[in-house]
Amino acid sequence: MQKKTELTINTFLVVLSIISGLFLSSQYLIYWYEKTDQRLAFPRQSLRSLLPLARWSYPDLYNNKNDKRILIVGDSYAEGAGDAFLKKEYNYSLGHHLKNMTNFSYAIAANSDSDISTQLYILKKVLAKKFAPAVKITHRIDTNPRVIFTFYEGNDLEDYFRNKDNHKLRKINRIYFNPINRFFPIIYFARKFSLKMPSSKTDKATPNKLCFKKKCFNTIEMQAASPELSNTQITEAIEHLVQSINSFKNQYYAKTCLIYIPSPATIYSRKIMKFQRYGNGYKNPDGFISSSENMNKSIYIRNLLRKKLKGINTGFIDSTDSLYNAGKYNFIHGTTDPKHFNYLGYKLLAQSTASKINDCLNLDHKKQLNGKNNI
């Protein structure tokens, strides 16, 4: 009897010690999350191990800590993945350059390997404090937020079909809203489940040839304007996206604007291109697309998006022409990470966007550009 009692007590003490250790380490991790600020020289290499949502507070996109901020929502292009991030450039993202070119402060609700609809779903949960205390929004998000969405032509529509097939939101609910993960984030941290910024690994196959100023090189399969999807599939995916934006607008009385980012196949537009396949449609099964067909699909996507967004009073900024013209003379994607913009690419994107933000968000026109938008 005495041995059983001792075993029970010892077992209880072991369990209590484990719980206490998890609690204390989780509290430290929560404290650490609150220090995730580029201005505080938080080590960038440590971002890979953080809860993805904790990375929202990292980039220095604000003028003053208590500023009202324009929220940038999207995937890796909104988060700032690319060579500039990997090479530890300070101004590595669209938001950094917009801050330097305008008088506004910004914040992100963006993660790599995600999309606008998924991020809005997560953002609603964050605003409703469903993640507390593991995640805290350290910057101001107003009652009537101003939101810029970044739509990437290269895979955002494909993501809609991939998310349907792999039940992404169900996985998010299972992982993010599990009470253990919410209140003991150290477990989540230890498991290293993360929507990581892209690594420095590059694809070995380089089937596409690009030439600039008589200098040529080979590059990877290009992301393109949904070359596998039919117009019916494109319409379905766009309607789902617009419904997600409209739902957020109506719930939070948000002012919204969408920035269209063209794919590499549209920017460089070579005669025949080998594109990256996702397997969501039946078009172009050989993996090749002509520049004319890709451009026609790009125009179809842009026109449909513009029309649908106008119906829900959401502004539309198309950066295609500006980046297409730049792509005639410059490679604006990375050499280490060729799927995302390099420093120049993000700066050009911001330059084509900065002067249009007022109109796109219907903001106070007394807010003027500060004249820092020269490359």
Token code pair at residue 283: 């078009």
Coil, helix or strand for 365? coil
- Measure the CA–CA gap between 341 and 207, rounded to whole angstroms: 19
- Measure the CA–CA gap between 285 and 302, rounded to whole angstroms: 23
334, pLDDT greater than 70: yes
Average pLDDT value for residue range 103-110 = 93
Residue 105's DSSP bridge partners are 69
CATH class of the domain whose range is 34-361? alpha beta
Is 119 in contact with 82 (CB distance < 8 Å)? Answer: no
What does the buried/exposed string (b/e) look like for 212-236 if buried means 16 or more CB atoms within 10 Å of the residue's CB? eeeeeeebbbbbbbbbbbeeebbbb
- Measure the CA–CA gap between 236 and 161, rounded to whole angstroms: 10
Residue 259's DSSP bridge partners are 150, 317
Average pLDDT value for residue range 104-127 = 91
pLDDT tens column, 218-258: 899 999 999 999 999 999 999 999 999 999 999 999 999 99
DSSP conformation letters of 38-103: GGGT--GGGGGGS-GGGGGG-S---SSTT-BEEEEEESHHHHT-SHHHHTT-SS-SHHHHHHHHSS
pTM, entire model: 0.87
Q: How far is CA 80 from the centre of its chain?
A: 7
pLDDT tens column, 127-186: 877 765 555 565 666 668 899 999 999 999 999 998 887 777 777 777 666 777 667 777
253: left (phi over 0), alpha (psi -120 to 50) or beta: left
CA dihedral sign, ordered 294, 203, 287, 226: negative
* pLDDT bracket for residue 375 (50, 70, 90): very low
Q: To the nearest whole percent, how much of the chain has pLDDT over 70?
A: 84
3-state secondary structure 188-208: HHHHCCCCCCCCCCCCCCCCE
- Measure the CA–CA gap between 208 and 291, rounded to whole angstroms: 13
Average pLDDT value for residue range 11-34 = 74
Q: Which residues contact 270 (CB under 8 A, 6 or more apart)?
A: 208, 209, 210, 291
